[in-house]
Amino acid sequence: MQNTSNAYANFLERLNEIKVLLDVLESENTTPTDWKQNSAIIRSCIVLMSSHFEAFFEEIVSEYVDFLNSSRVKAPEIPKSIKATQVDGELKIIAETTDWAKRVIKIENLFSINYALWTKVHVPILKSEPITKEFRIIEEYWTYTNPRHP
């Protein structure tokens, strides 16, 4: 049994990139008066850290979903919010489908593919992508509501 997640180990490895940039700030060739360079390095570190956190969250969700799948967790034990993410994208597509015949086929496919999510005895196979997509939606909302000031 593994004690540390791969996502966490990968995150720690990625932090080395930030350490390289911070080492530049501490080098003998960099002075506190090099404010443009120092500022650029610090901003680069922040961007990298943000990117690494996003990757960490996506990987940890993937590990969680893999754990649920390998544990053969039955549908009632899976949080409803996770089950909802599994079908949300398909529901949006169905809602936008105006051709009734195509809509009926999409609804049938939705239920035939995802029925195991909602029964008491089945063990559904979950996908991590719909859950990580929710992180991206939150990120887009945050960016939209908190625009960067010049």
Domain stops at, among 71, 100, 117: 71
Predicted confidence (pLDDT) per residue in 91-138, tens digit: 999 999 999 999 999 999 999 999 999 888 888 888 888 887 766 655
Are 33 and 103 members of one domain? no
The tally of domains found in the chain comes to: 2
Spatial CA neighbour of 38 closest among 51, 24, 28: 24
Are 62 and 84 members of one domain? no
Predicted confidence (pLDDT) per residue in 22-80, tens digit: 888 887 776 767 778 888 889 999 999 999 998 998 898 889 888 888 989 899 988 88
Are 95 and 61 members of one domain? no
Are 82 and 147 members of one domain? yes
Are 61 and 80 members of one domain? no
Domain stops at, among 29, 55, 71: 71
Domain stops at, among 71, 97, 114: 71
Whether the pTM exceeds 0.85: the reply is no
